[in-house]
């Protein structure tokens, strides 16, 4: 069961689509099979994953609670997307998901 959970987390974290806001604006089909680089995870999502895992781990080690680390990390990720929506940023639900999967990654591999 643990192997299935790990595979699912990695699959969802690394293949989150649409890949970026520019792809949404410039193309109608985000899964362009002619361009295999579309399936690679954009650096933006990788950074959200890493920051989500980092915050979760830092809070978990500091407090001794994996759940609190997950909650704090996902809350910060959600707040960042709300701030992006209110300002001139580019809010994306997939950014929030990538941050959350990073936080979940810490729980699975602890």
User: Would you kindly state where each structural domain of the chain is located, as residue ranges?
Assistant: 2-108
Q: For 64, list phi and psi in degrees, rounded to 5.
A: 80, 10
In this prediction, residue 50 carries a pLDDT of 92
Percent with pLDDT over 70 in the chain: 63
First to last CA, the chain: 15
**What's the whole-model pTM score?**
0.66
| 3, pLDDT greater than 80 | no
| Average pLDDT of span 45-57 | 92
Give the span between the Cα atoms of 20 and 30, in whole angstroms.
Answer: 9
**What's residue 42's pLDDT?**
77
């Amino acid at each position: 069961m643990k192997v299935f959970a790990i595979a699912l987390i990695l699959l969802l974290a690394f293949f989150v689509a649409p890949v970026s806001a520019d792809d949404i604006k410039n193309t109608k089909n985000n899964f362009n099979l002619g361009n295999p680089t579309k399936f690679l995870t954009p650096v933006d999502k990788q950074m959200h994953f890493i920051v989500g895992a980092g915050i979760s781990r830092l809070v978990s080690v500091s407090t001794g609670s994996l759940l609190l680390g997950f909650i704090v990390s996902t809350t910060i990720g959600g707040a960042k997307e709300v701030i992006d929506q209110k300002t001139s940023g580019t809010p994306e639900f997939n950014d929030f998901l990538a941050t959350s999967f990073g936080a979940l990654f810490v729980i699975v591999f602890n």
